[in-house]
Copies of this chain bind each other. A is one copy, B any other.
């Protein structure tokens, strides 16, 4: 166990009683918290929504997201640095060179997150009427977020096991 650095393992079951664990001692290593550092703001998620919906130009994104240029510029820069978006030059015939923001492969991995958020938001009481429907092209059926294991099983919460492996520098 003690070989320069010590490794502590902890097995818990989701939504069940868990083994004793004090906290995520090393703040910042939990992947969920790291994710929140980048996309934990309203503006980041809304910009991503617009990019998923086909927005590309700075101008469009700002208007459609309904946020100010300052915030948009800041978030877009962070998203590009994090590798979620690419800022690519392009030129329309007869126009000057411009830049467009497009999702990277990694950025596209955020799709389930976006669908989950949408799904969740629909449960909440809404002030104004309106709907956002996502359907499978061709088949026409509605889409929804799921959790599956690599073996292909649908996995409910109570069948999920969480293992926390934390490496601590033991001086």
Binding site for B on A (CB under 8 A): 12-18, 21-24, 26-42, 45-46, 49, 51-54, 63-66, 82-83, 103, 106, 108-124, 126-139, 141-151, 153, 155-157, 159-167
Whole-angstrom CA separation of A29 from B130 in the bound complex: 6
> Provided the pairs A39-B120, A45-B40, A124-B82 are in contact, do residues A54 and B147 lie with their beta carbons within 8 angstroms?
no
CB-based closest 5 A-B pairs: A31-B121, A35-B121, A136-B149, A112-B145, A113-B116
Instruction: Name the residue on B nearest A137 (C-beta).
Output: B159
Residues of chain B within 8 A (CB-CB) of A35 are: 117-118, 120-121, 124
> Provided the pairs A149-B141, A165-B133 are in contact, do residues A23 and B54 lie with their beta carbons within 8 angstroms?
no
**How distant is A64 from chain B, measured CB to nearest CB, in Å?**
5
> Provided the pairs A130-B164, A145-B116, A165-B130 are in contact, do residues A54 and B121 lie with their beta carbons within 8 angstroms?
no
Chain A interface SS verdict (over half)? mixed
Across the interface, do A130 and B26 meet the contact criterion of CB distance under 8 Å?
yes
Across the interface, do A145 and B145 meet the contact criterion of CB distance under 8 Å?
yes
**Among candidates B23, B46, B117, B135, residue contacting A63 with C-beta atoms closer than 8 Å:** B23
> Provided the pairs A63-B23, A149-B136 are in contact, do residues A120 and B110 lie with their beta carbons within 8 angstroms?
yes
**Among candidates B34, B53, B136, B159, residue contacting A136 with C-beta atoms closer than 8 Å:** B159
Across the interface, do A54 and B115 meet the contact criterion of CB distance under 8 Å?
no
Across the interface, do A161 and B147 meet the contact criterion of CB distance under 8 Å?
no
Residues of chain B within 8 A (CB-CB) of A123 are: 83, 106, 109
